[in-house]
Amino acid sequence: MASDFVIQLGLAQLQLLKGDITQIAVDAIVNAANSQLAGGGGVDGAIHRAGGAEIMRELNEIRSRIGRCETGSAVVTGAGRLPAKYVFHAVGPRYRDGEHGEPELLASCYRVCLQLAAERDVKTMSFPSISTGIYGYPVEAAARIAIETVADWLRAHSEPVRTVKLVQFSDADHQVYRALAQPLGSGRAQERAERMHS
């Protein structure tokens, strides 16, 4: 599944693509989890279905130790049958009105997962659009936080994470992400070059 918008950030790349995150081969997949780590609908359900029961077994062990995962944080499991080594289960905020710390908590999800990736020598990783499903975060606001937080982190850390894929399931969400990524600039030249070679 090819990325259709690529932003070069030093040695690293931020890629945008529309598709099924469970089908994309990377070192680490980020799951939009709930604080009970109990599985659910949306991308959480899709990751558990595709990855198999081993992921939930690991989450049950983690839950027995820590009880729950705090909003803005994440826990790590293996990836089961997914085309990855790890799943980072990030707990995004439920959106109320944007005035109850939601932007900071959402940005924290991305930063925590990137730090977990760096600690595990992850080179490639993929994120879904965290909190925009049943947690109700407006897609445009969430996309802006995702793009800016990941881009800032990649500019500040040249190793080991080299490729971050922001994966949108719907065409509508993908168009929002693309529009917000345009000002980062280098993506446009890369996009034109890719179109010329396709």
Q: What percent of the chain has pLDDT over 90?
A: 85
pTM of the predicted model over 0.85? yes
Q: Is it the case that residue 130 has pLDDT exceeding 90?
A: yes
Helix (H) / strand (E) element for 196: namely helix 186-196
Q: Is it the case that residue 190 has pLDDT exceeding 90?
A: no
86 close to 122: Cβ distance less than 8 angstroms: yes
Name the nearest CA neighbour of 146 among 124, 162, 168: 168
Give the residue-averaged pLDDT of 167-185.
92
| pLDDT tens string 33-47 | 999 999 888 999 999
CA 67 to chain centre: 23
Helix (H) / strand (E) element for 156: namely helix 139-156
Q: Which of the pair, 29 or 4, is modelled with greater confidence?
A: 29
DSSP string, 100-116: SSHHHHHHHHHHHHHHH
Per-residue pLDDT, 197: 38
Catalytic residue numbers, as ranges: 44
Strand ranges of the sheet holding 86-91, from the earlier edge strand across to the other edge? 5-9, 12-18, 163-168, 124-127, 28-33, 86-91, 74-78
Q: Which residues, other chains included, contact 30 with Cβ-Cβ below 8 Å and sequence gap of 6+?
A: 74, 87, 88, 89, 90, 113, 125, 126, 127, 128, 130
β-pair type (28-33, 86-91): parallel
Per-residue pLDDT, 1: 63
Which domains does the chain possess? 5-196 (3.40.220.10)
Give the residue-averaged pLDDT of 142-167.
96
Relative orientation angle of helices 53-66 and 42-51, to the nearest 10 degrees: 120
Q: Is it the case that residue 196 has pLDDT exceeding 70?
A: no
| pLDDT tens string 57-115 | 999 999 999 999 999 999 999 999 999 999 999 999 999 999 999 999 999 999 999 99
- pLDDT, averaged across the chain: 92
Per-residue pLDDT, 191: 43
Give the residue-averaged pLDDT of 24-28.
98
Name the nearest CA neighbour of 121 among 76, 152, 159: 159
